Amino acid sequence: MTRFAAPIAEQIWDIKYRLKEADGTPIDGSVEDTWHRIARSLAEVEKDPAAWEPKFFAALEDFKYLPAGRITAGAGTARSVTLFNCFVMGTVPDNMGGIFDMLKEAALTMQQGGGIGYDFSTIRPKGADVKGVAADASGPLSFMDVWDAMCRTIMSAGSRRGAMMATMRCDHPDIEDFITAKQDPARLRNFNLSVLATDPFMEAVKADGPWDLIFDGKVYKTVQARDLWNQMMRATYDYAEPGVIFIDRINAMNNLSYCETIAATNPCGEQPLPPYGACLLGSINLARLVGQPFEAGAALDEAALDDLVATAVRMMDNVVDASRFPLEAQAQEAQAKRRIGLGVTGLADALLMVGLRYGSDEAARQTERWLHRIARAAYLASVELAREKGPFPLFNAEKFLASGHMRDMDEDVRAAIAEHGIRNALLTSIAPTGTISLYAGNVSSGIEPVFAYSYTRKVLQKDGSRTEEEVTDYAVQMWREKFGDADLPDYFVNAQTLAPLDHVKMQAAAQKWVDSSISKTINCPEDISFDAFKDVYMEAYETGCKGCTTYRPNDVTGSVLSVSESSDNAPEADSGADVVYISEPLDRPQALEGNTYKLKWPDSEHAIYITINDVVINGHRRPFEVFINSKNMEHFAWTVALTRMISAVFRRGGDVSFVVEELKAVFDPRGGAWMAGKYVPSILAAIGGVIETHLVQIGFIEGEGMGLKTDPKAEVMVAGERPRGPACPSCGQYDLQMVEGCMTCMSCGYSKCG
């Protein structure tokens, strides 16, 4: 008997979470082995591991408690990876040496699998004086480009590229450039962007007052706050970025406001963190705790919930001691505050099981009640841990209980904290749970509504074949098993049909009892008016949300999963997404078009000859392979290596313009040379320039230094079809969709958020 509700769930476990030898031989023979591995690892830090391991296993069993993917994949493996999902890095100094020290720390963190967040507000604006060098500053956006290039280069643990969040204050002089930065389709592809909106700014927006853009005490420009707000709203209306973070509310409600200031979040926004802050994540699967689903007596088992939350808090607290950290500063920060982020998944399914329509007033009230119950159980469990193991080192009872969040906490919980302390400074967060929710039987993700009742995926089998599998929402499948083909009740609703303000209502209801923040995407219809769209953000601010992320499908961002509408409430289905877990190389035709270029490096006896061949896909030329040759034998090894590596990248397809950027950025410590009136810092940079010239000539990029004009795949359409937005950079499918703040490929699982 398998524990998995669907073949796709087992497939995800096998590929993402199952422990294997280096040659692919499984070590975890079953999912029970995976649960035992995690339970054993997290029990090892206890005084009595043998007593706690079975309790931890019971919490994991049948997917009731879902540790985040990094814990599930990494705990008990002895691999040098972090079990923490996300980090905010140190404050970026406003000097060149400090900036590149921060870049190194970011690379080390992403190398071990952590997503990172940065506040770039600390870097002086473009054009500001740089003392001592008689030059003008290039501004924070230029350094964000450097971070972006680094992120492309570093492959994080588990073969996942790093994910980054960049924030900038609404009063920084470069905020307008920040807002529009990603409208260049080739720029900052590895970043999520969010504006830090302060309370004074939001009040100025409402009053249509002036707003100073200021740095280091100097006012660079004064704008109308509402005009700046409209720029932000127009950018996210058209391009789905930037998001908005209500930073003053975050700091005012922070339990640790007495000892830290927050200016950035992790990539998906659910964890506002201080410099070097880190958080681990896990979710209670509410869909597994509902008794008598779809019947008159359907209800969440609250006693079971309390017990499960208490065990989960203990497990997560143990992760702080069991995990490795990329940087010592991160380890010290985690030990000093012992932050955890316990959340939920399957909320929408649980609401359906008890007969409530997601987005209704009663569903919002029920969500608030459930989240309140979880908060109580989590805080009381942490108090018990403090009695046993001691409170977190920076605990100060008077200041902790005076924070904005704790002022609303139940009096018995406050009294327990005052008497015994608390083990964890913050305990709750609602994280994206897309993959682990699918692994748990395709329960609804986080606090999101059901995204689609059912759809079809082609699942890659071990023998290389693909089978077509229907992926059905957990609650819908349960309804089918109980009632057969009977129509779904009216209270079934999904993300495509839910009104945007109903999304906001649910986020606000959950936020009241979540001490960190929430990752949630508010789906908006394509035809929503700009004014109504702006109202969504203002409503989020007015109702107590800590941030807001929306997604409106259009020609730039792409379409959402298609929803079929019929009178019998049949589940909607997409056209058959193709699961490709590693992108397949483009096939090489028998003959290719190409050009050969002669490159003569000054003071070199022999020229270098560069041949670039192109493949034609649907009438568009794109680079396919490179050959680099020279009679100078000193060049032989590196030219062969470069030939193979660049050709391998080109054959994978997608946005390969970064090859030019990386090569042109290489500096030779012995010095470069002047060529055609331009200083070229190295032979490799010169080769990059040749490749760039070729890409411009074939129309793959628009011009020198301008990056990819468009993804050529994105321009290929079936006759009569609307534009579908960009193709997935990993598998090339047109299945990129906004899911909980991240552009995620519904075919292969690629996400720029890691």
Closest CA to 592 of 550, 627, 543, 640: 627
- Rounded Cα distance, 16 and 67, in Å: 13
Catalytic status, residue 285: no
Amino acid residing at 681 = P
Residue in this structure with the two tokens 């005009």, named with its chain if needed: 227
Q: Which two tokens stand for residue 508?
A: 């606000």
Count Cβ atoms below 10 Å from residue 83 Cβ, excluding itself: 28
- Triad 197, 742, 190: Cα angle to 5°: 85
- Rounded Cα distance, 272 and 270, in Å: 7
User: Which listed residue (266, 285, 442, 613) is catalytic?
Assistant: 266
User: Which listed residue (86, 151, 170, 268) is catalytic?
Assistant: 268
- Rounded Cα distance, 696 and 622, in Å: 10
Residue in this structure with the two tokens 């040098």, named with its chain if needed: 80
Is residue 415 classed as helix, strand or coil in its secondary structure?
helix
C-beta of residue 594 within 8 angstroms of C-beta of residue 613? yes
Count Cβ atoms below 10 Å from residue 223 Cβ, excluding itself: 17
- 635-638: which pairs have CB atoms within 8 A and are 24 or more residues apart? 635/606, 635/608
Q: Which residues pair with 746 in a beta bridge?
A: none
- 99-108: which pairs have CB atoms within 8 A and are 24 or more residues apart? 99/123, 99/143, 103/146, 103/147, 103/150, 105/326, 105/327, 106/147, 106/150, 106/151, 106/162, 106/164, 107/150, 107/154, 108/326, 108/327
DSSP annotation of 518: B
DSSP annotation of 223: E
Catalytic status, residue 469: no
Q: Which three-class secondary structure string do you get for 717-739?
A: CCCCCCCCCCCCCCCCCCCEEEE
User: Which listed residue (10, 105, 241, 270) is catalytic?
Assistant: 270
User: Which H or E element spans position 316?
Assistant: helix 302-322
DSSP annotation of 16: I
- Triad 13, 15, 21: Cα angle to 5°: 105
Please give the order of strands across the beta sheet that includes 620-630. Answer: 593-599, 608-617, 620-630
Catalytic status, residue 618: no
* Residues carrying an active site annotation: 266, 268, 270
